[in-house]
Structures are given as C-alpha cells and as structure tokens.
Amino acid sequence: MPGKTGIPPMFVCLSGDKSPTDHILTVRGFAGSGARAGVVTTGNQPFEFTPVASENHRLRTREPANPRTPEPPNPRTPGFALNYHPTPMIPPSSLDTAAAARDEFRRQFGTSPSGVVFAPGRVNLIGEHTDYNDGFVLPMAIEDGMAAAYAPNGNRVLRIHAREFGETCEIGLEDGTRAVEEFAGWFRYGVGIARTMAAAGHRLIGTDIALASTLPSDAGLSSSAAVELSIARVLAATSGEPWDPRRAAQIAQQAEHEFIGVACGIMDQMAVACARTGRALLLDCRSLRTQDVPVPENAGIVIVYSGVSRTLAASAYNDRRAACERAVRAIRQIEPSVRALRDVDAELLERARTMMDAVAFRRASHVIAENARPGALAAALREDDLGTAGRLMNDSHASLRDLYEVSSAELDLLVTLALAQPGCHGARLTGAGFGGSIVALVDLTAVAPFSDSIADRYRAATGLQPRVIVSRPAEGVRLI
C-alpha cells in the first residue's frame, strides 16, 4: 500500500498526451520512485488506471477495459492529482535487463536459459577511500545493473557472452594455467571469479552465461563488482552450492586483486552482495558487520555521470593505498598497536606528522575525518535530517578534492552546479574518483527540474554528455 515500498502515494500531473490506448503523463515526484506496477486512482472517484510503463518522470497508464465510472476523469489535465498504490515488485530496470539477457542467451546459445541473476550497481553515499583502511562506508545498491541469463552446458567449459561487447569468450574449467592476459579485459572477471571460487573449494560445473547491462562502465558505479557477483551467483546456482553473500563478496574482491590488478577494498562487492531495498548499507570494513539504514522517502538520490571515464584509475588508486600504508608504518613507530588508519585519531596523526612525508599526511588526514562521516550520515538519514546529511556530503567532497586529490575539473563542476540548484542539500564525487560520477541529495519534489537543469548546464559548459540516474536503494544480487 502507499508508502510501504518507499514510493510517495500522490503524484501531480504536469502535462499529458494520449495515444490510442494509453495516457502518457509527466508526473512530478515520479522519477526514481522505482514504480511500475500498481494502480493509479483519482483523488475522489473510484476510477483506476493501471501503469504499464515508466521512464524518468513519465508514467504511461491505461484505462481499464470496463471503467467503473461512466465518465472517466481526464488524468492528463495539468494539476490533476493521482494516488498511486504500488504493488511490491522487482524494480523495473532489473526486469527489462533480465528480458534482454534472456533474449541474448537464446540468440547466442540457441536454447532457453534455466535462470537469470540480477546484480545491481552501487553508489556510495559517503565513506570514500576508507574501506581499505579498515573503516566505515555507506553505499546503497541502485536499480541499474547487470543481468546474467544462464544454463548448465554439460561440458567442463565456462562460456560467457557479453551483449555490450558483442563478444563470446570461453575457458575450460580445468584450464588453470592459461595466463589471464590472454583474455579480453571484460572476460578476465569471469576467469577470475571461476578460478577463485574453484580455489576456495567450490565444485563448479560447465555453464553458459549471457550478460546484459544498463550500467555505464568506468562511471564509478561498480560495474566490476556487478559482473563479478552476477557470475559468482550464477556459478553457485548451477553447481548447487549454498549462497553466502559475505563470502561471495570476499571471493569477488580477491578475484579483482589477483586477476584485474586493482587492490580495491571490500565496499563495492559487499554493497552489490548484501544491500537491501530502501536501505543504505552501513558497513564496518574490518568486521564486515552491516546495518541497514532507511533512506527517507523524500530524499532523492541523483547520480550524474560526468561522461569522463576513470582513466589511470588503477595506478592512481594503488598509489593512494600505498600512501595510507606509509602513514600507518610511520604511526606504528610511536603506537605499535595501530593496524590501520581506522585506529588513528587526528591527535595521534599530528604527533606522527614529522615521521611521514607530506603526501602521506594529507591522505591520512582525509581518511581519519572521512571515517566518522558514514556513521554521522546514517544518523542524519535516520532522523530525516537532510540538511545535516547534505553538509556531510559537501565536507566529504572538499576533503577528497583537497586532501586525497582524487577529484577532477568535471566532478568539481558538477558538484558546483548541483549545489546551485533549488532543493539540493549536498553533493560529492562518488567511488574512486579520477572521473566517474557525483551523487547529490535532492528533495524528491525537486528531482525532475534538478536533473534537467544540471544536465543542460553541464553540457553547455563542457560539451560533454552527462548521464543522470535517479534511483531508490535497490536489493543486492538475486535470482529473478
């Protein structure tokens, strides 16, 4: 019923058209609600419309074959109020993507798949570059992601087709010696997951997989973790192995270290594996303990991809990690019990300042302050205090820009443009940085004009094509 799935119950029509069968309504407050199925009723009459599709801000509804009122009201009138009664369901883009993966599977392998897995992308709300310092993070899964249609193939072979690359690759499950560099970049994730699962004792069976994705790669939205976890979930399903999301996240992280060469933390894999609908995931990266944090219904989470992919990300990322390790080595000279920057406060860092280089000091200063922000943002979200939440996001961005030095001119511009829009409480770069995306916290009622305006202004200023993604917090990897 209204509100139960985090969707506002009332929408106001801004404008409307009519096709021979459907009403196309531009509806304030609809964007990012994740809504598709349900019933739309008028405020005071029992007339019902069934939503048949939605895109950003637009809701396509159909009159029932036998309307209960002789004179149906016209929902296309601007200002017309609609009550929306959603049916709890799988978020829409996962269904569309799953259908695309199924079609692709039939085309490529000539049979029907036996199942489909959907792995979401993630956006990190706060806690950046803290995960590999044993700290705290607060990501959420998003509705965009990757679907993997699959079926056992009766051979000892893993075959994966990637719709986005138009390519099929395969490797024998016994073929542990072929160098990973021999494979296409995207397929290394598949090889890495299969080998890491096998080394961890999983008894894999030959499987065909077709992948279809709506996630831009290199946008800082964890397309890597989505491909890793979707393949891990498929291989667990076909081989009849039990599914342990935390363990799977650790396997995916290990595969990324060993087969992709990025010494990433555990945030992305844990978010994709464990996130819950309507909730952000407060994660302690040392213990892997999690808390689900409800994201208020009036909080619009808007992601804007800068159109600049994260070039040189792997080496710059590994450099940042190395600087944190230098800081820890210096601090241990005066406080040997310290295991990671998570164990250090500002006062201890200051005492150790002369024992480390200036770069390591700046990086550690960011991590120590940033590590307090996920808990603080979680508290603000629980109290529906979007003002405080926004300020924390702004502080995080300034620290990533000035101390951690992972922002870019485009990301800084997007943050400035975001903060100039009405209804925006805060904005920051999200993910590793060096290009990619920002995330903004926007009043739900302001999301539509915010999205249009930031895209127009950014395009005009840079000539680059941004992509705006509005998402409610989604469910982690799942069979659908």
Which residues are catalytically annotated? 268
**How many CB atoms neighbour CB 170 within 10 A?**
17
The answer for residues whose C-beta is within 8 angstroms of residue 313's C-beta and 6 or more apart is 218, 262, 432, 434, 435
Let me know: does 246 contact 288? Beta carbons within 8 Å: yes
**Helix, strand, coil share (%) of the chain residues, nearest 5:** 35, 25, 35
What is the rounded CA–CA span in Å between residue 216 and residue 309?
9
Please tell me whether residue 65 adopts helix, strand or coil conformation: coil
Closest distance of CB 385 from ligand GLA, Å: 24
| The token pair that represents 368 in the structure block | 């120590």
What is the rounded CA–CA span in Å between residue 275 and residue 6?
16
Q: Quick one: DSSP state of residue 463?
A: -
Residues that bind ligand GLA (CB under 6 A): 128-129, 131-132, 264-265, 267-268, 431-432
User: Strands 299-305, 207-213: parallel, antiparallel or unpaired by DSSP?
Assistant: unpaired
Q: Cα 392 vs. chain centroid, distance in angstroms?
A: 20
424-430 sheet: strands from edge to edge: 424-430, 437-443, 299-305, 467-470
Q: Quick one: DSSP state of residue 87?
A: P
Instruction: Give the side-chain half-sphere CA count within 13 A for 307.
Output: 14
Q: Cα 219 vs. chain centroid, distance in angstroms?
A: 10
Instruction: Give the side-chain half-sphere CA count within 13 A for 299.
Output: 30
What is the rounded CA–CA span in Å between residue 310 and residue 154?
39
Task: Classify the C-alpha dihedral 264-269-272-274 as positive or negative.
Answer: negative
Closest distance of CB 267 from ligand GLA, Å: 5
CA distances for 35 relative to 9, 50, 172, 256, 405, angstroms:
11, 12, 42, 34, 38
Residue where the block lists tokens 């009043």: 443
Strands of 153-201, DSSP E: 157-162, 167-172
What is the rounded CA–CA span in Å between residue 181 and residue 391?
44
